[in-house]
Amino acid sequence: MSYSAANRTYAFGNWLIDCQRRELRHDTVVVPIGSRAFELLEKLADSAGLLVTKDELIGSVWSGQIVEDNTLQVHIFAVRKALGRDRDLLKTVSGRGYTLAGSWRSGRPDHSAAATISAPAASSFSSNLPNARAPLIGREDSLSELIDILSAYRAVTLVGPGGIGKTKLAIELARRVASSFDDSVALVELATLQDPALAISATARTLKLALSDKCVSPASIAQAIGSRRLLLVLDNCEHVIDVAAQIASAVLRYCPNVTVLATSREGLRIDGEYVAAIPPLSVPGPDVLDPDLVLRESAVQLFVTRTRALRASFVPDASDLLKIAAVCRRLDGIPLALEFAAARVANLGVDTVLSRLDRRFELLNSGRRDQLPRHQTLRATLDWSYDLLLPEEQRLLCRLAVLPAGFTLDAAIAMMDDDLSRSDVIETLFNLVGKSLVSLDPSFEGRWRLLETTRAYALEKLAEAGFLAQVSRRHAGFLRQLVAPLGGTSPTADDVSRLAQEIENVHAALDWAFAPDGDTTLGVELTAGFVPVWMHLLSFVECSSRIEHALVHLGPGVTCNPRLKAQLHVALGFALLNTTGSADRMKAALNIGLVLAEELSDLELSAQGRVDAVELQSQLGPV
């Protein structure tokens, strides 16, 4: 039997949607829900089990009106809040729309006197969110995604490195969903607490709960909240992480209408938590030269906006924008670092700031006076994270800093002392990932990296501890072992794909090896070992330059395998043959290589040298 839409009900389990009364009921108890959210739920129930697109929902509820996606998301959020523990019934189909799961039966309403019970009124908490002072730049996509996530999970933790903007993002997210909590939003600011135990009383004070200091506990806070609707925002949890996790866990267990939104440099690690990693702002690639395209990236938008706020006359031209793009890349798109740099540009100009970024901790040392102390300088921001690490985490972080191109698990293990087991290194590395100091490299599978600013800080710490030379030697030795299986032969495609990821690491290792306090022999061996990779990549200019640099350092007192020296000369001749290098240099390199190979009775190397000599002779005349 069919019923008119206005008189229809939809029932599933303990739920009933009464279209005539416009009520959502659970076990005959009326559940509060806004009118728009109710209309969305009605439309979804009518198509239960089927995909309802965003356009269909907007057309049904806001017919003829122009509605943005985030408006729809806010009301979908409200539907999930109304469904409470059954929020998983409402499924998101990414980029397309939503589906209401379950076998919802259509029927006729029953409005007998005993049919419904109104939910008891409960006093709500007031909101203590601060007023917005400046627009949040570059976070619309994140906000849109997080609104959906927050509607599907009762505990969401925003994680990321210091200065990424977790607090600002959490506050803006809370503002946008506040209406779904009857504007009951409590922001608990934990940043200034010295004693983790104080986080409990700070939460109780923020909520204005009448609890004595003697009996305040996570459980008593949860019991005092009870069934009231609330968005609890726990901000800056990392230094009180265990207590923050206890508070959140108790609230989730005892308070069915509370959602927890936390910010931290690591997850709370509680049941039901969704950990959302906050990305840096987008930066232009080094090959983007169009000023209009540069300005589309959110890091550049923030930089220009902040600079103009301090110097109204600042109007960057095309050249300035390319320099600003370079600054944004060097600072990894981290909002706090960009704000520091923008403040310096307002006084010193773009050229000066860009040229001094190698000394970024001295340059970016003046934040806003109303910031937390740890956000007053770039160094203080990193000090805060570093000081919270365990000793073995500090050691590994500093040692990984010698690897500018990122690293594999084997490389991380090689950087540590022999007394730390492989499993301990793996666990420590994953701890650093969890604490937002190391991240997976999105460009390569099975590789990790440090943000450039984090790496610069960790290198300073490594040097201060007196271990920079030792770890640099380990690094160079690891790379030498990595290329040793090639034995000077042509690498396979898999070898090239794997070793090409190490080129910047090889540069760093060679720079150390040929420095006054380095190890020339190790540098020569690494150069010779990597020659086949440069050749395969057709990087003949770099190859010849690196070989010549190695040969220059082969002076008296430097121990070197004679075959390596011969190999390097033959390879240099071939590399120069494939560039616009000097003919005299090509001939000299091949002649020396042939002489050395013949002295060693190395038939294979002699043959290679003669093939190259014939090729050179065909182009330039007799060698």
* pLDDT for position 408: 96
Residues 269 and 147 in one domain: yes
pTM for the complete prediction?
A: 0.80
pLDDT, tens only, 544-562: 999 999 998 887 666 777 7
Q: Considering its fold, how many domains does the chain have in total?
A: 4
Residue 55 lies in a domain: yes
* pLDDT for position 597: 66
Beta bridge partners of 159: 264, 277
* Rounded-to-integer distance, Cα 280 and Cα 333, Å: 5
Residues 146 and 263 in one domain: yes
* Rounded-to-integer distance, Cα 101 and Cα 50, Å: 8
Nearest to 281, CA basis, from 140, 89, 170 = 140
pLDDT exceeds 90 at position 122: no
pLDDT, tens only, 435-466: 999 999 888 888 999 999 999 999 999 999 99
Which tokens belong to 619?
A: 């182009």
Residues 107 and 176 in one domain: no
* pLDDT for position 492: 87
pLDDT, tens only, 94-119: 889 999 999 999 887 765 543 445 54
Q: Where are the beta strands (DSSP E) in 19-153?
A: 23-26, 29-31, 52-53, 90-93, 97-100, 105-107, 117-118
* pLDDT for position 3: 46
pLDDT, tens only, 582-608: 677 877 877 777 777 666 665 555 555
pLDDT exceeds 70 at position 613: no
Residues 402 and 324 in one domain: no
Residue 481 lies in a domain: no
Mean pLDDT of 59-82: 85
Residues 396 and 429 in one domain: yes
The residue range of the domain holding 177 is: 140-277
* Rounded-to-integer distance, Cα 354 and Cα 341, Å: 9
Band (pLDDT 50/70/90 cuts) for residue 432 is: very high
* pLDDT for position 598: 66
Q: Which residue has the higher pLDDT, 180 or 281?
A: 281
pLDDT exceeds 70 at position 5: no
How many CB atoms are closer than 10 A to CB 357? 19
CB 269 within 8 A of CB 159: no
Which of 448, 466, 484 is a domain's end point?
466
Residues 214 and 172 in one domain: yes
Residue 580 lies in a domain: no
Which of 377, 411, 438 is a domain's end point?
377
DSSP designation for 320: H
Structure-token match 């099975």, residue found: 446
Tell me which of 17-31, 142-156, 284-298, 522-536 is least confident. Answer: 17-31
Residues 317 and 349 in one domain: yes
Tell me which of 34-48, 61-75, 314-328 is least confident. Answer: 61-75
Which tokens belong to 447?
A: 């590789």
**CATH assignment of the domain containing 214:** 3.40.50.300
pLDDT exceeds 70 at position 123: no
pLDDT exceeds 80 at position 256: yes
* pLDDT for position 571: 84
Beta bridge partners of 234: 188, 262
**CATH assignment of the domain containing 422:** 1.10.10.10
Nearest to 135, CA basis, from 158, 163, 165, 160 = 165
Taking CA 612 as the corner, what is the angle to CA 610 and CA 614, rounded to the nearest 5 degrees? 70
Nearest to 79, CA basis, from 68, 90, 93, 91 = 90
- What one-character-per-residue DSSP string does 224-277 give? HHTT--EEEEEE--GGGHHHHHHHHHHHHHH-TTEEEEEEESS----TTEEEEE
Residues 174 and 114 in one domain: no
Residue 534 lies in a domain: no
CB 558 within 8 A of CB 523: no
Mean pLDDT of 567-583: 79
Residues 307 and 362 in one domain: yes
Residue 418 lies in a domain: yes
Q: Which whole-number Å values give the CA distances from 427 to 276, 349, 384, 413, 462, in the listed order? A: 21, 44, 22, 11, 21
* pLDDT for position 606: 56
Q: Which residue has the higher pLDDT, 493 or 215?
A: 493
Residues 335 and 426 in one domain: no
Q: Tell me the backbone φ, ψ of residue 258, rounded to 5 degrees.
A: -110, 135
Amino acid letter for position 611: V
Residues 420 and 355 in one domain: no
Residue 536 lies in a domain: no
* pLDDT for position 493: 87
Q: Tell me the backbone φ, ψ of residue 100, rounded to 5 degrees.
A: -100, 115
pLDDT, tens only, 232-246: 999 999 999 999 999
Residue 254 lies in a domain: yes
* pLDDT for position 605: 56
Q: Which residue has the higher pLDDT, 46 or 118?
A: 46
* pLDDT for position 125: 74
Mean pLDDT score across all residues of the chain: 87
Which of 466, 496, 529 is a domain's end point?
466
pLDDT, tens only, 459-482: 999 999 999 999 999 999 999 999
Which tokens belong to 47?
A: 């198509």
**Could you give the strand order of the β-sheet that contains 15-18, starting from the edge strand earlier in sequence?**
105-107, 9-12, 15-18, 23-26, 29-31, 117-118
Residue 53 lies in a domain: yes
**Could you tell me how many helices (H) and strands (E) the chain has, helices first?**
27, 16
Band (pLDDT 50/70/90 cuts) for residue 135 is: confident
Percentage of residues in the chain with pLDDT exceeding 90?
58
Residues 150 and 255 in one domain: yes
pLDDT exceeds 90 at position 386: yes
